[in-house]
Structure 1
Amino acid sequence: MQGGGRASAVDGMVQHIRGLIRERGLTVGDVLPSEGELAVMFDASRNTVREAFRTLKAYGVAESRQKVGAVLTDQHQVAMRDLFSFAMDISVDAFRDIQGYRRLTEMNLFDLLAGRIGEDTLAEMDAVNARIGRATTPEDASDLDFQFHRLMVEAAGNRTLSETYGMLKPVIRRLMLAGKSHRLALEGVVAEHAEIVQALRKTDRIAFVYHMNRHLDAGLEFIPPPGRPDAGHGAGLQEDAR
C-alpha cells in the first residue's frame, strides 16, 4: 500500500506541474519553480516533487540545467518529428497529404489574419521573400520558405496551430525542397508569396485563396516517380532552359 500511495502522490504531483504549466502559459525554455517552491505550493514532500521531476525528464518534458533548475524542453517531440521526417518517403501521395493539411490550416486563416496581421509582420514576410530570391542553395531557399509561412501562421494568434506547424517543420521543409534547385521554380515561389502578401494587405479573400492554392500545388511536378532519384535537391540552383 505504501508503494502505491507513493506512486499516486508522484502522479498527482506530475498533474499539478502540468496544470501549472498550462495556467502560467509556460513554453519551451521557461524555468519551472524549484523543488522547494513546488513542495510548499502543493503541500507535498520534496521527495515527491523530485520523483515527479524525474518522470517529466523521462518523457522529455523538462531537463535540469546547472545554476538554472528545471527547464521545459521538447526533446521527445523533436526526436519523434525528426524520425517521422527521416522515415517518410516523399512521394506524390505524401506530398498531397501534407499539402492537404496545409490547405486545411493556412488557406483557412484568412478571417483571423484579416483582423490581426499588422504591417510589421507583412513587411517581415516581404523581407524573407526577397531573401528567397537571393538564396544560393535549395536548402537555404526551403528554410526561408518555411519561415515565410510560419510568420503567417503565428500572426493568426492560435498557439496550438503554431506549435503543431512547428512540430511538422522537418516534414514541411522537406516537401518545400521540391523544385528549389530550379531558378524558374524559385522565381515562381517568390511571385506567389508576393501575391499572398498583397492579398493580405488588401484583405482580398479570393486572391489569398487563389494564390495559396496555386502555391501549394506548385512543387508537385518536381516530386519524382518511384525508382527515380529526387531531382529537386542539389548543391546549388540551376538555371532553367529558356
Structure 2
Amino acid sequence: MTEFREVRRSSLLPDQIAADIMAKISDGELLPGDTLPTEHALAGTFGVSRNVVREAIARLRSDGIVESRQGRGAVVKPISERETFRVDIHSLGKSGNLADLFELRGLLEIEAAGLAAVRRTSLDIEEMCKAIAELDGDFQFDERRLEADAAFHRAVGKAAGNAYLYGIICYISSRLKETTRVTSNIYTRDDLVQVTRNEHLKILKSIEAGDRAGARKAMAAHIGGASERLKVPVRSVSLL
C-alpha cells in the first residue's frame, strides 16, 4: 500500500504535496490506472487542509499526470496519454534517468546549435554574449551563474528559429540547474565555471560565424563534457 508522510507545518505547499505524489508515480508505487487516495485521506496523511490537497491534485491534473473520473476520483494516467512533457527532478537519481536526459539534450541541442548558426540574428548573438559574460569572475556556480548557464542554452534554442524546439529547450534548461549544482559538489577541480564558459564560447563563435557543422560539434563536446563531469554514461549522439 502506498504511504505518504506528513508535511511539516512550515512548508504546507501544494507543490510539495504534488511532488510527493509524483515521486510515488515515478517510483512505480502508484501505477497507471491507480486511484489516488481521497482528498480527505490525503489531507489527514499530510496534515493539511483539503483545499491544499485539492490544489496539489489540480496541478498534477494540469500537468497531465492524473485525470478525474466520475465515481473514482483522481486516476494516474499512462505516460502515453499525458498531454504535457515533464522532467521530474526527484526521479533523476534513478538508474538511467540522467543518461536519458543527457541523450535527449544531445538530440535536441546539437541540432538547435546547427540551426542557430544558420538562423541567428544580431540580438541572439547579444543574448549569448551577455550570458557568457555573467560566467566571468568566479570559480563557483552561484544562483546568478546557474541562471546564466541556463540563459545561454535558451538563447541558442531561440536562435534556432523553431518555437516548439525553443519551448522544450527552455523547459529542460530550467531542470538542468539541479544537475549543475550536483556537478559542483562532485567535480574535484576549481575551474568548473571557466570550463563551462569556454565551451559556451566555442559554441557562440561557431554560431556567429555561421558554421553549422562547427556549432553542432561544439555543442556535442559541451554536452559530452557536462555528462563526464557529472559521471553520467551517455550513449553517443551522431553529428551527421
TM-score class normalised by the smaller sequence: 0.5 to 0.7
**Structure 1 residues 69-91: Cα deviation after superposition (integer angstroms, max 9, x where no partner):** xxxxxxxx9x9947x11232176
Aligned to 2:125: 122
The reply to whether residue 190 of structure 1 matches residue 197 of structure 2 is yes
Show the 5 A alignment for 1:26-45: none
Which of residues 201, 207, 213 is equivalent to 2:208? 201
Aligned to 2:92: 88
Identity value in percent: 19
Deviation at 1:129, TM superposition (A): 0.7
Q: Which runs of 5+ in 1 are unaligned?
A: 1-55, 62-76, 226-242
Seen in structure 2, the aligned counterparts of structure 1 residues 116 and 95 have a Cα distance that, compared at 3 Å, is same
Aligned to 2:217: 210
Deviation at 1:127, TM superposition (A): 1.5
Deviation at 1:176, TM superposition (A): 2.9
Q: Which runs of 5+ in 2 are unaligned?
A: 1-57, 64-81, 233-240
Q: Is the 8 A contact 1:199 1:205 kept in 2?
A: yes
Deviation at 1:138, TM superposition (A): 2.1
Aligned to 1:164: 168
* Amino acid in the other structure paired with 2:180: M
Q: How many residues align?
A: 152
Could you tell me how far apart the structure 2 residues matched to 1:106 and 1:189 are? 16
Query: Which has the larger Rg?
Result: 1
RMSD in angstroms over aligned alpha carbons? 3.3
* Amino acid in the other structure paired with 1:201: E
Could you tell me how far apart the structure 2 residues matched to 1:179 and 1:58 are? 29
Could you tell me how far apart the structure 2 residues matched to 1:206 and 1:156 are? 14
Which of residues 119, 133, 152 is equivalent to 1:148? 152
- Secondary structure of the structure 1 residue equivalent to 2:135: helix
Aligned to 2:78: none
Could you tell me how far apart the structure 2 residues matched to 1:211 and 1:177 are? 23
Aligned to 1:231: none
Deviation at 1:59, TM superposition (A): 4.6
TM-score, normalised relative to structure 2: 0.53
Deviation at 1:121, TM superposition (A): 1.4
Seen in structure 2, the aligned counterparts of structure 1 residues 106 and 89 have a Cα distance that, compared at 3 Å, is same
Show the 5 A alignment for 1:33-112: 59-60=61-62, 81=86, 84-89=88-93, 93-112=96-115
TM-score, normalised relative to structure 1: 0.52
Which of residues 113, 116, 119 is equivalent to 2:116? 113
Show the 5 A alignment for 1:20-31: none
* Amino acid in the other structure paired with 1:94: N
Q: Is the 8 A contact 1:81 1:170 kept in 2?
A: no
Could you tell me how far apart the structure 1 residues matched to 2:168 and 2:190 are? 31
**Structure 1 residues 154-198: Cα deviation after superposition (integer angstroms, max 9, x where no partner):** 222222222222333443222233544653122111111111110
The reply to whether residue 132 of structure 1 matches residue 135 of structure 2 is yes
Q: Give the number of the structure whose residues are more often helix, by fraction.
A: 1
